Amino acid sequence: MDTERQQTPGGHTQEQESKKQEGKTRGADINYGIDDNPPWYFCIMMALQHYLTMIGAIVSIPFILTPALCMRDEDPARGTIISTMIFVTGLITYLQATWGCRLPIVQGGTISFLVPTLAILNLPQWKCPPADVIDAMSNADRTELWQVRMRELSGAIAVAAVSQIVLGFSGLVGKLLRIITPLTIVPTVALVGITLFQHASETASKQWGIAVGTTAMLTLFSQVMAGVQFPGLTYRKGHGGLRVVWFPLFKLFPVLLTIAIMWTVCGVLTVTGVFPEGHPARTDVRLRVLQDAEWFRVPYPGQFGLPTVSLAGVLGMLAGVIACTVESISYYPTISQMCAAPPPPLHAINRGIGIEGFGTMLAGLWGSGNGTNTFGENVGAIGVTKVGSRRVIQWAALIMILQGVLNKFGAAFIMIPDPVVGGIFCVMFGMITAFGLAALQYVDLRSSRNLYILGVSFFFPLVLCLWLQEHPGAIRTGNETVDSTLSVLLGTTILVGGVLGCVLDNLIPGTPEERGLVAWSKEMALETKPSGTGGLETGGGIVWEKNTFDFPYGMPLMRRWKWTRHVPFLPTYKMKL
């Protein structure tokens, strides 16, 4: 992590204040920028907020996945899969924020991989036997029943992730950036939030009163009361001792405060009997998860057996890899602007995609049954809280790693009532959609060409994917591998929308200004140029400006080696796109 620097009475260093002013020139209204180091107690609170933001979505994936694995509801291995997923999420998040793209993003499980996963498990050879047959099995046979499926998923995910690793570390991402335009990004990112509306609706509908109250309270804290100052105590040795300071509590911790208050409300309604036994809004509905969770367990690769590999599985998972790659590339410049960072250079984008692929491979080998991707929920959290500090995400990663080992700790947060999570999702998924639509600022919306591309790339994927969901056996080519692969590819809205927007924008004639390429190129600064001031002097007499996306250690030595300028994923990379 970055070293602490002396703070001003307002809680920021002089360097941080200057960076905040620089961030404002990029239109970023933030509390803490990417290189800011909030006080440790702020970091822990905001890191916990990011943890709570992602835990609902992380937990929802295993709860959808495990029935498809033929695992019974009371199987304690459900908690093991959840802890494994969160442990790997923390590990890759720390690696990504510190050595990868160095943006304050959370790398976690994604629904993009859930679609091909379910397609694979729906193949005839992997379909679950009837429930009475499973109940008649011995414990060992039931365990082998779901573990053999997990090994198939693990191998497919790990092998498919190799393509993303090669794409990132080889620098081939730069080739993609030539065709990934704003009209590609808008449907890819916006459709993530739009596609998730059903999941948010199902979760919130379990108790609309709690869900609507959660959404209203989050809106009140993050938007209406954002400027309200709250008193707090701070102690600084040699600088006046104990003092009262004022800080924007509701602007910094809207998600955390909302969850805590609504969770308490649900607890009161549970104790008083307003919510009947078994109601999804009760705080004790998942009490058995807490009771069955182990106190201490370290996840490890191959914990469910040696992964297996099949062509159908790998081809299916490639759809998830492609969708996640385009989605992450779309997120990077948006997140950079949100946290007042410079536009992401090409080496950071290359490194970010490569690390994401490495994380997906580890997630497969560890047996999480899923890959990793930039967590849209936490992107939304940055937009709501205006806190884009890298330090906060590093703390959040450590909390996730700790939770992955101390299972009881994570099980406690899994007990958050579903309607509370649903209310949070209504805001977060909406923010993701809004951030995707924000890329429209670069294109000419008066152009009938652009409006046509937008309309088709939004509407057609929703129509096609919804139809395929209602008719899962519609594609029949005579080859099961081809059928499952096409079903996965054509059933993923973000993939269909992104590819459609990309193809149409690059085929239909239009001027660079009309397509938004001129304005977009200013946002995507793809190379780091040497600066003549405020930098670090190397042995060759060149003065380099310290950059947000530099490695935390070893940069002076790396800049002395000329060969590092030709490695696509190193911060000294100078080759033009």
Mean of the pLDDT values across residues 482-493?
75
**H/E run at residue 465:** helix 448-470
Full residue range of the structural domain in which residue 225 is found: 38-524
Q: What is the pTM of this model?
A: 0.74
- Whether 27 shows a pLDDT value over 70: the answer reads no
Q: What is the DSSP string of 263-330?
A: HHHHHHHHHTTSSPTT-TTSTTTTHHHHHHS-S-----TTTT------HHHHHHHHHHHHHHHHHHHH
**H/E run at residue 335:** helix 311-338
**H/E run at residue 250:** helix 249-252
19, 340 in Cβ contact below 8 A?
yes
Query: According to the 3-state scheme, what is the secondary structure of 86-105?
Result: HHHHHHHHHHHHHCCCCCCC
Mean of the pLDDT values across residues 44-59?
75
In a domain, 307, yes or no: yes
Burial 230-266 (b: 16+ CB within 10 A, else e): eeeebeeeeeeeeeeeebbbbbbbbbbbbbeebbebb
In a domain, 73, yes or no: yes
- Whether 486 shows a pLDDT value over 90: the answer reads no
pLDDT of residue 115: 67
**pLDDT, tens digit, 9 for 90 and up, residues 507-554:** 999 898 899 888 877 766 544 444 333 444 444 444 445 678 888 888
Mean of the pLDDT values across residues 73-96?
84
| Cα distance between residue 268 and residue 285, in whole Å | 14
| DSSP 3-state of 447 | coil
| Cα distance between residue 149 and residue 536, in whole Å | 53
Mean of the pLDDT values across residues 456-482?
81
Nearest to 317 by CA among 376, 371, 373, 375: 371
pLDDT of residue 222: 79
In a domain, 345, yes or no: yes
Beta bridge partners of 535: 545
pLDDT-above-70 percentage for the chain: 83
Beta bridge partners of 32: 387
In a domain, 29, yes or no: no
| DSSP 3-state of 341 | coil
pLDDT of residue 474: 79
197-204 vs 40-68: helix crossing angle, rounded to 10 = 90
pLDDT of residue 270: 87
| Cα distance between residue 338 and residue 379, in whole Å | 9
pLDDT of residue 524: 62
| DSSP 3-state of 182 | helix
- Whether 429 shows a pLDDT value over 70: the answer reads yes
Mean of the pLDDT values across residues 138-152?
87
Nearest to 161 by CA among 353, 374, 400, 375: 353
CA 263 to chain centre: 24
Q: What's the whole-number average pLDDT of the chain?
A: 79
Q: C-alpha angle with apex 472: 468 to 475, nearest 5 degrees?
A: 80
pLDDT of residue 527: 46
Beta bridge partners of 244: 233
- Whether 438 shows a pLDDT value over 50: the answer reads yes
| Cα distance between residue 3 and residue 51, in whole Å | 23
pLDDT of residue 108: 84
- Whether 377 shows a pLDDT value over 80: the answer reads no
Nearest to 280 by CA among 421, 150, 386: 421
The HSE-up count of residue 119 (CA atoms within 13 Å, CB side) is 35
In a domain, 445, yes or no: yes
| Cα distance between residue 523 and residue 517, in whole Å | 10
In a domain, 536, yes or no: no
Structure tokens that stand for 11 in this block: 């809680």
**pLDDT, tens digit, 9 for 90 and up, residues 306-360:** 898 887 778 778 877 877 887 787 778 778 878 878 888 888 999 999 999 999 9
- Whether 158 shows a pLDDT value over 90: the answer reads yes
Query: Quick one: CA dihedral 205, 211, 216, 218, positive or negative?
Result: negative
- Whether 12 shows a pLDDT value over 50: the answer reads no
In a domain, 10, yes or no: no
- Whether 28 shows a pLDDT value over 60: the answer reads no
Q: C-alpha angle with apex 333: 331 to 335, nearest 5 degrees?
A: 65
In a domain, 510, yes or no: yes
Task: Spell out the residues 6+ positions from residue 254 whose beta carbon is closer than 8 angstroms to its own.
Answer: 218, 221, 222, 226, 384, 385
Give the DSSP letter of residue 108. Answer: E
**pLDDT, tens digit, 9 for 90 and up, residues 174-226:** 777 778 888 888 887 788 778 777 777 877 888 888 889 888 988 888 788 87
Burial 314-323 (b: 16+ CB within 10 A, else e): bbbbbbbbbb
566, 573 in Cβ contact below 8 A?
yes
Task: Spell out the residues 6+ positions from residue 222 whose beta carbon is closer than 8 angstroms to its own.
Answer: 250, 251, 254, 255, 384, 385
Count: domains in the chain? 1
Other Cβ atoms closer than 10 A to 306: 10
- Whether 453 shows a pLDDT value over 90: the answer reads yes
| Cα distance between residue 149 and residue 157, in whole Å | 12
Task: Spell out the residues 6+ positions from residue 25 whose beta carbon is closer than 8 angstroms to its own.
Answer: none
